Amino acid sequence: MMFSLGLIFFFGLLGNLLFRRLKLPGLLGMLVVGVLLGPYVFNLLDDDILAISDTLRLFALIVILLRAGLGLRLDKIKAAGRPSVLLSFVPGVLEGMTIAFLAMWLLDFGFVQGGILGFIIAAVSPAVIVPSMLVLMEKKRGTNKHIPTMMLSATALDDVFAITFFSTFLGIYMGTSTHVGLSLLNIPLSILLGVLMGALLGYSLVQLFKKMHVRDSKKVVLILAFSFFLLSLETFLEDVVMFAALLSIMTIGIVITALYPKLGLRLSVKFNKIWVFAEIFLFVLIGAAVDITLAFETGLLGLFVIGLGLLARSVGVLLATMKTVLHLRERLFCVIAYWPKATVQAAIGAVPYSLGVEGGDVMLALAVLSIVITAPLGAWLIRLVSVRWLDEETA
């Protein structure tokens, strides 16, 4: 295992640096390294590492969500307003349902199978979008109109909607759920409970840190521990009540910054340091999970389905940002920034196949193809067009 860790860190860092030298996002280099090291190309990673790959990727995702929360201010979130709310569900629902109907037409799927596929593909990737938006916030690009904040808050909610729809369609197919309307009511409940849980924990931690002197590094450990508890609690309660644990984790950071700004700033510096190695784990292991051969099995048909899905998502973004202060070029930036797939597809793409869902192999292949196409393309375009289409905030 130690040799595999060495490979991940050495070549992950090398890929990051090389792609940055080429004026490309470093995460692309790490994804490529993961694909090459993974079991579907050179197979250089130990099975023990691959067995805990999901856990390691989840840890890295927790770090980036806490970074995002600590960097968000309530007044900025409030200023993002209506478009942020609309972005959280309009583009994803349009994309998911478009793919569902395309699957019925082109892949001979039933509507329920199409819905399962649609909402596997529809979820956007916090792993790609969140770091990109944090970079824009640091550079103060687009911040005069709260564009990075709007995309950050919408991304977390987008995944809540996508995963809930996916679980609902999968439950119907497996015969464990028949009440579609009742299942969909779980979405606002999941969001509300997620925010409340995170706010309560954030408030409690601030009170604890104000009364008890604890080094910032130990505060980080404590926050991470509660984040792990939240994810475990989500799994434990999934048959009783749903709540969005990842949204809770981001909310912890938001509340700490709102109630104790100086601490929020110091903790943000600490989590930035952790992110240096956490991002290598995240993107290399996402790459390692990608079976590149599957990506080509669906051929042009797969590209057509994913492409039309992205077109529907793009229309949704334009609808969500209508009648706002954003110029057309800024709205088009939001369209591109909402393309990348990776995190959710890597996590749930194989679930229907493992459960014996008819067409599960095709669903897995399309999930992989969506990562291969949109993660590198989206990350590169975000970096490219942000410089051209977003204004830099002036003091």
Q: Which of 88, 62, 137, 5 is nearest to 343 (CA)?
A: 62
DSSP per residue, 97-131: HHHHHHHHHHS---HHHHHHHHHHHS---HHHHHH
Residue 340 lies in a domain: yes
In a domain, 22, yes or no: no
Range of the domain at 234: 50-389
Is the pLDDT at 249 greater than 90, yes or no?
A: yes
State residue 235's pLDDT score: 83
Q: According to the model, what pLDDT value does residue 86 have? A: 94
* Number of domains the chain is built from: 1
Between the alpha carbon of residue 264 and those of residues 155, 166, 229, 347, the distances in Å are: 22, 35, 21, 30
* Helix, strand, or coil (residue 391): coil
What is the chain's mean pLDDT, rounded? 90
Helix or strand (DSSP H, E) at 31: helix 26-37
**201 falls within a domain:** yes
Contact 368, 374 (CB under 8 A): no
Between 332 and 72, the more confident residue is: 332
- Tell me what pLDDT residue 184 has: 65
**Confidence (pTM):** 0.88
pLDDT digits (tens, 9 = 90+) for 324-367: 999 999 999 999 999 999 888 888 888 898 889 999 989 988 99
Amino acid symbol at 186: N
Amino acid at 162: A
Query: Rounded CA gap, 324 and 336, in Å?
Result: 18
Measured in degrees and rounded to the nearest 5, phi and psi for residue 394 equal -105, 145
Q: Is residue 45, in this structure, part of any structural domain at all?
A: no
**Gyration radius from the chain CA atoms:** 20
Do 102 and 313 touch, CB atoms closer than 8 A? no
pLDDT attached to residue 178: 52
Angle between helices 126-139 and 328-337 in degrees, nearest 10: 140
User: In this structure, is residue 174 part of a structural domain?
Assistant: yes
The answer on pLDDT for 241 being more than 80 is no
What is the rounded average pLDDT of the residues 71-98? 89
- 222 touches 37 (CB < 8 A): no
- The Cα–Cα gap between 334 and 330 comes to 6
CATH number, position 329? 1.20.1530.20
Helix/strand/coil for 141: strand
pLDDT in tens, 308-320: 999 999 999 999 9
Q: What percent of the chain has pLDDT over 70?
A: 97
Does the residue 154 lie in any domain? yes
What are the pLDDT digits (tens) for 154-203? 998 898 889 888 988 888 888 765 565 666 677 788 888 999 999 999 99
Give the span between the Cα atoms of 264 and 226, in whole angstroms.
17
- Whether 22 shows a pLDDT value over 90: the answer reads no
Q: Which two tokens stand for residue 41?
A: 């190309």
What confidence score (pLDDT) does residue 133 get?
95
Query: How far apart, in whole angstroms, are the C-alpha atoms of residue 67 and residue 264?
Result: 10
Q: Is 380 a member of any domain?
A: yes
Cβ neighbours of residue 332 under 8 Å, at least 6 residues apart?
385, 389
**Inside any domain, residue 15:** no
pLDDT of residue 395: 57
Reported confidence tier of residue 75, pLDDT bands at 50, 70, 90: confident
- Separation between Cα atoms, residue 133 and residue 139, nearest integer Å: 10
With bands split at pLDDT 50, 70 and 90, how would you rate the model's confidence at 387?
very high
pLDDT recorded at residue 292: 81
Q: What's the pLDDT at 179?
A: 60
